[in-house]
Amino acid sequence: MADVSSTELKAAYDEVLADSNDTNWCLFKYEGKNKIVLSGKGSGGFAELAQEINQPSERLYAYLRVVSGDDESKRSKFVFISWCGEEVGPLAKANVSVHKASVKQVIKNIGVEVHYTVADDLNEEELMTKVRKSSGADYSGNKSTN
């Protein structure tokens, strides 16, 4: 288990969760082997978060609020991102999935969960497709070919 006792983690999560707040992402990093602390937060959406998360030698966890839907039905959706850079050692990589459970004790409202390992994975369009699919209804105007 990872140490997620820092009150900053819950405070950052609550900021992202609140639609009334401009903060739409927060990022958690490791301090030592097992302690997870707040690394940063921002209001620049996925593009800003992707710049922060793209660290090949780090293990990170992020929480992101995105808006999905059409002009008549916009909803906030929440994405949990785990990142394990390609330069992370095997034992540390193995701990990511175990420690993810600890992080989820803080981050509870999750609509979509993704795991990234390289910069090429950080694609906003693909992420938003996953968000739309997870919503149960796609109001983006796309036509099904079924």
Confirm whether pTM is higher than 0.85.
Answer: yes
pLDDT of res. 125: 94
Closest CA to 79 of 139, 17, 5, 2: 17
**Contact (Cβ atoms closer than 8 angstroms) between residue 59 and residue 88:** yes
Local confidence pLDDT in tens for the 146 residues of the chain:
899 999 999 999 999 999 899 999 999 999 999 999 999 999 999 999 999 999 999 999 999 999 987 777 788 999 999 999 999 999 999 999 999 999 999 999 999 999 999 999 999 999 999 998 887 655 555 443 44
CA distance 37 to 26: 11
pLDDT of residue 110: 96
For the chain, domains (ranges, CATH) are 7-128 (3.40.20.10)
d(CA 16, CA 38): 13
